[in-house]
Structure 1
Amino acid sequence: MKNVNVLLLAVSANLFTFQPAIAQDDNAALVPLPSLEDFTQGEDGWAFGLGLGVEYESAYEGSDEYEFEIDPAGAVQWRSGDNIFYWAGEALGWRGLRSEIWLFEALLAFEEGREEGDSDDGRLDGLGEGEEGLELVLQARRAFGADWRYWLDGRIVAGENGNLGLFGIGRRLGDQIDGSGHEIAIAVVFHDSDYANKDFGIDAEQSIASGLEQTDLNGGFRSIGFNYNYRHYINDNWQIFGEAVYEHYSGDIKDSPIARSDYEAEVGLGFIYIF
């Protein structure tokens, strides 16, 4: 079913590959990557996009239970030259383009903790509520050319509940410079012991309450993942977006009783209106 959903998303994207007559020189995105929202259409000042997305995703990290979820989409942005400051949901951040081939990003985000009720089958009973916290995300992307056809991605997530690092490589499809088109990427992910145990560890108290084996994970290699992004302008105001994500966990995580599956998958589709 998950592979079918990913295929359906790709087919849906291809149905909208026609490109309306938009003057791209006047709508150049800060970086022409579909994975990065840019509602400014190449102009300095304020920009605002609002919409909805429907996702079919795992109920929690490592879950084999899947569900549909409707989430708001969009952001408030302010652009000044090669810099965009933005507020998107529970994240406040900045992106800056340097020398046409370097993109830097910094954002502060709120991470919601896991709840026992996230599992309809009761597989989290006795584990208690996961801790909420703030995360600082620092990212750098380096393109192999000003057209951003190929790029490298490095990311660090430092939070109250642990730290995570990511290194990836991506490929952009299409010639648009307005941020629309298709994009694929693969990445390897590493985490420290705090981050690993946040989602997959079981301490002595939780073990007694849940009946699950006590589990203490070390830091190191977490997973390898694949990501597909799609974005299309129907006209100057309406935009369609899609995403498919697959993450395959390492052996340490797969050994945790919380991990009911050795992978996690997600597929989503939505729309945004740009004011």
Structure 2
Amino acid sequence: MRKTFVQVATFMGALTCYGPLYAAEPITALVPLPSIEDFTNGDGWGFGLGLGVEYETAYEGSDEFEVEVDPAGGVQWRTGDHVLFWAGEAIGWRALASDSWLFQASVGYEEGREEGDSEDGRLDGLGESSSGVAVLLQARYALTQDWRYFLDGRVSTGEIGTLGIFGAGMCLACQPDGTGWELGAVVTFHDSKLANRDFGVSATQSNNSGLPETDVDSGYRSTGFNVNYRHYLSENWQLFGEALYELYGSDVSDSPISRNDYEAEVGVGFIYVF
């Protein structure tokens, strides 16, 4: 999940409009969007390894914040307009079609919430929420030839439930190497299984925790805004940043698990591209 990001993006975009100043030769990403990593430089294998530091809410609906350090990067193999990738706990494929459509399919593991995620004890008695494998299907459509404006649709479904994300975005000072600023706005929807996994309280959980029994219906979940940034500091070193703000709908924010009506996250990191 501040400042006015558009003002910051416009200023930083002016600094990055000349692309990677230290690169020995031009780099061409699959699409010129900072949120879509491409370490392959056009074809063959690509490797990136780094670290990211995030300041984020401790769990969905929490009013507690924590700092988390996670690995960044991944392994990719590209041939033409197709990329196979492994990043974190997900493996997948993405491809460019007709220069206007970007498709992605991936399989990943979604970890559940634990009682210990709340240092204030606000999850005591709720137990651990379910974890499981999820399949992500995504499509982006470029409204302009340079991907300055685009539409985005994603569906994640699996053992823990289904989440749908629909939105639009714009790219500021984006370059063919995938650097620049990307701004987006999305609306999310969930089914009842996912809604109650994150925000529901069963009869057993109610008895153990003292929280009122709560059943959350499927439907609207939240409206979110996000910012992505990527820049080459040298031929091999990338700097990246991201920020997210998600405002929950009334059904979610009324849950006794929700201590806030929003989720927020900001992160920064470095990746070395081999």
Change (3 A) 1:191 1:238: same
Change (3 A) 1:14 1:146: closer
- How high is the TM-score relative to the length of structure 1? 0.94
Answer yes or no: is the 8 Å Cα contact 2:13–2:173 preserved in 1: no
CA distance in 2, matches of 1:274, 1:119: 36
Question: For residue 69 of structure 1, what is the aligned residue in structure 2?
Answer: 68
CA distance in 1, matches of 2:232, 2:46: 16
Question: For residue 110 of structure 1, what is the aligned residue in structure 2?
Answer: 109
CA distance in 2, matches of 1:108, 1:176: 29
> Which consecutive unaligned segments of at least 5 residues does structure 1 have?
none
CA distance in 2, matches of 1:172, 1:10: 10
CA distance in 1, matches of 2:14, 2:55: 20
Answer yes or no: is the 8 Å Cα contact 1:13–1:242 preserved in 2: no
Question: For residue 96 of structure 2, what is the aligned residue in structure 1?
Answer: 97
Partner-residue secondary structure (3-state), 1:3: coil
What are the residue-to-residue correspondences of 1:165-180 with 2, within 5 Å? Answer: 165-180=164-179
Identity of aligned residues (%): 61
Partner-residue secondary structure (3-state), 1:196: helix
What are the residue-to-residue correspondences of 1:1-275 with 2, within 5 Å? Answer: 3=2, 17=16, 19=19, 20-22=21-23, 26-42=26-42, 44-275=43-274
> Which consecutive unaligned segments of at least 5 residues does structure 2 have?
none
C-alpha displacement of 1:159: 1.2
C-alpha displacement of 1:251: 0.3
Whichever residue aligns with residue 195 of structure 1, its letter is: L
CA distance in 2, matches of 1:52, 1:12: 25
Change (3 A) 1:6 1:131: farther
Answer yes or no: is the 8 Å Cα contact 2:76–2:84 preserved in 1: yes
Cα-to-partner distance string for 1:35-85 (whole Å, 9 max, x where unaligned): 11111122x111100000000000000000001110000010000100000
Answer yes or no: is the 8 Å Cα contact 1:249–1:263 preserved in 2: yes
C-alpha displacement of 1:102: 0.2
C-alpha displacement of 1:146: 2.3
CA distance in 2, matches of 1:260, 1:72: 29
Answer yes or no: is the 8 Å Cα contact 2:83–2:93 preserved in 1: yes
CA distance in 1, matches of 2:174, 2:94: 22
Change (3 A) 1:74 1:12: farther
CA distance in 2, matches of 1:12, 1:108: 37
CA distance in 2, matches of 1:149, 1:6: 17
CA distance in 2, matches of 1:208, 1:32: 52
C-alpha displacement of 1:104: 0.2
- How high is the TM-score relative to the length of structure 2? 0.94
C-alpha displacement of 1:23: 6.6
How many residues are treated as equivalent by the alignment? 272
CA distance in 2, matches of 1:137, 1:145: 25
